[in-house]
């Protein structure tokens, strides 16, 4: 296997940081310490993904996933 190259492992952090910078950094370190070469986040705006009715239901049943926690400024992402 002369052409073997080590796989590039990407940790899927997604939205598991729940908008908290310290949690995001901790998840990055955990991924690194467990062999990940990179960490992947997801950025989304829930209001653009669903209808108004679905969005209102989402806020009522899953308050932790509101825009406050899921949409961040460019400085948030750059600081990671």
Q: Where are the domains of the chain?
A: 11-79
CA distance 25 to 17: 9
3-state helix, strand, coil in the chain (%, to 5): 50, 10, 40
pLDDT tens for 59-71 read 776 665 445 455 5
* Cβ partners under 8 Å of residue 80, min gap 6: 21, 24, 25, 28, 39, 41
The pLDDT of residue 7? 94
Predicted confidence at residue 66, as pLDDT, reads 46
Q: In whole angstroms, give the CA distance from residue 28 to residue 60.
A: 30
Opening angle at CA 14, ends 8 and 19, nearest 5: 135
The larger pLDDT score, comparing residue 54 to residue 72, is at 54
**pTM for this entry:** 0.56
The predicted structure's pLDDT at residue 69: 52
Write the pLDDT tens digit of every residue in 21-60. Answer: 888 899 999 999 999 999 998 877 777 888 888 888 777 7
């Amino acid at each position: 296997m002369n052409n073997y190259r080590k796989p590039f492992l990407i940790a899927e952090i997604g939205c598991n940081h729940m908008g908290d910078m310290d949690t995001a950094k901790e998840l990055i370190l955990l991924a690194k310490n467990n062999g990940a070469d990179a960490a992947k986040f997801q950025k989304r705006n829930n209001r653009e993904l669903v209808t108004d009715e679905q969005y209102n239901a989402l806020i009522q049943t899953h308050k932790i996933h509101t825009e406050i926690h899921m949409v961040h400024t460019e400085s948030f992402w750059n600081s990671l």
